[in-house]
């Protein structure tokens, strides 16, 4: 009973030195904007959310890698304030009957998180892929170039 605790408490869980505190970073990268949204492990509570559109003035730059990098830097700084040291990443493209590839900001946002001192756990692609979709935009003979 005379033991001194050499840890701190985070969310009701006692942490020892060297333990990682994980969150989940949801990266949604479309061709119009990039969202960097960090939640707790259950995904219920939002800890911080920054978009590319919050970082740049011009509408055409919202989805750019530069805007995504600035957003991810803000998120990493706020995560450190909250005590998170590591993140699991869930990358999402637009999906559905639209493009399945993530937008241009996804890779730069992920790199910015790693460079700003966040440890990366698992990286998962959660782009919604339809088993049988609604009809895709464009006519019967497709888009003619």
Break the chain into its structural domains and give their ranges. 20-125
pLDDT of residue 135: 87
| Cα–Cα distance, 76 to 64 (Å, whole number) | 19
pLDDT of residue 34: 95
pLDDT of residue 134: 86
Q: In the beta sheet, which residues pair with residue 29?
A: 34
Which residues of the chain register pLDDT less than 70? 1-17
User: What distances in angstroms separate CA 1 from CA 4, 14, 17, one per listed residue?
Assistant: 8, 17, 20
CB atoms within 10 A of CB 142: 8
Question: What topology does CATH give the domain 20-125?
Answer: Nucleotidyltransferase; domain 5 (3.30.420)
pLDDT of residue 132: 82
pLDDT of residue 4: 53
| Cα–Cα distance, 113 to 117 (Å, whole number) | 7
């Amino acid at each position: 009973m005379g033991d001194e605790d050499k840890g701190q408490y985070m969310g009701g869980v006692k942490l020892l030195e060297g333990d990682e505190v994980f969150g989940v970073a949801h990266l949604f990268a479309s061709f119009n904007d990039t969202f960097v949204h960090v939640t707790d492990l259950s995904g219920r509570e939002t800890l911080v959310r920054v978009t590319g559109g919050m970082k740049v003035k011009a509408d055409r730059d919202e989805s750019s890698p530069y805007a995504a990098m600035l957003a991810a830097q803000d998120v990493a700084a706020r995560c450190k304030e909250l005590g998170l040291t590591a993140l699991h990443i869930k990358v999402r493209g637009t999906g559905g009957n639209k493009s399945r590839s993530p937008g241009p900001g996804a890779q730069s946002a992920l790199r910015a998180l790693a460079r700003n001192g966040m440890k990366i756990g698992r990286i998962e692609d959660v782009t919604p892929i339809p088993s049988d979709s609604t009809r895709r935009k464009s006519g019967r003979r497709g888009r003619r170039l």
